[in-house]
Amino acid sequence: MSSDSEERTGEPLMGSVPDKETVDQIAALCDGLTKFNEPLSEHTTIGVGGPALVWLRPKSEGSALRILNACAQQGIRHFVIGAGSNLLVRDGGYPGVVINLNHAFKKVQLKNSRLTAGAGTPVGTVIKKCAQAGQSGLEMLAGVPGTIGGALATNAGVDDWSISDVLDHVELVAGGETKEVDRDEITFSYRSSNLAELGVVLRASFLLNKAPTPQIQSRINGMLFKRRSTQPQKTKSAGCIFKNPPEAPAGKIIDELGFKGKKLGGAVVSDAHANWIVNVELASASEIIELIEKIEAAVEKKRGIKLERELEIVGVD
């Protein structure tokens, strides 16, 4: 399950690479869609990435849990992917099992001011339901393309507000055991969390506040306008590449160093927002990574600032 906000829980390159027999056994546990040697470029918003040994999208919670538990118990390399935003998969792909929870864990329940949503639920779906019910608290995420699980994993937010501010608890699975973990037991910081160390998030519960629907919708419209006017639209991208350092917004620093419009192969620094790299001409992951490294080196050399990546990079070359 980052802005996107996209969930990727667990340790992506931990565990052993499964052989064909093991892959087949894991795939047999899936009651939904199974794709072998599936290009992960088809499942990331930036549109790059080599193949996974197998990509699974179970229909039911039971199937999803059997897959996750089998991978964990057998020490098989695996990770969970949601909307694929804030994620870059290397050109060699991912030598393991990739699991999508967008069907198995997509239910949303709202009782009074408590909202419970599956990790695979699109953020936009949750915000719409809250607005209709007159429940405020999550509308600052309007326009975020990811899922609830991804938003939590990256502690998505705007300015000083983060999704963890309204979180009550999560339900996760770890070591074959499903359990609830309270907000206070989770470590959140600016655009990051330790949820990946605790297990795979299945659903989350939030405490909201009653507010007039028109007021909530006005905030949503404001956030959407802000994003559309400051971020690239209708392009293949992974959202913000870097976290904002204390000195200044990362995009401002990168822009001041003249990187807007800089191109490397099919990857280009967006003219709309310098903290975004867009895939304009069938870019490769290696081209995007090289462009990222050039930005990092220039910012450190000329400003003395070591940028921290918000984008998660997984897989092998």
Active site residues: 191, 240, 310
For 117-138, letters b (16+ CB in 10 Å) and e give bbbbbbbbebbbbbbebbbbbb
Burial group, residue 256, by CB count within 10 angstroms (0-12, 13-18, 19+) = middle
Triad 73, 75, 80: Cα angle to 5°: 90
Please provide the distance, in angstroms rounded to a whole number, between the alpha carbons at the two ends of the chain.
22
* 150 neighbors 1 (Cβ within 8 angstroms): yes
* 75 neighbors 98 (Cβ within 8 angstroms): no
Joined together, the tokens standing for residue 19 give: 């052989």
Using CA of residue 134, residue 140, residue 143, residue 148, what is the dihedral sign? negative
Pairing state of beta strands 51-57 and 94-100?
A: parallel
**Number of separate helices (H) and strands (E) present in the chain:** 8, 21
Angle in degrees, 0-180, between the axes of helices 20-27 and 61-74, rounded to the nearest 10: 150
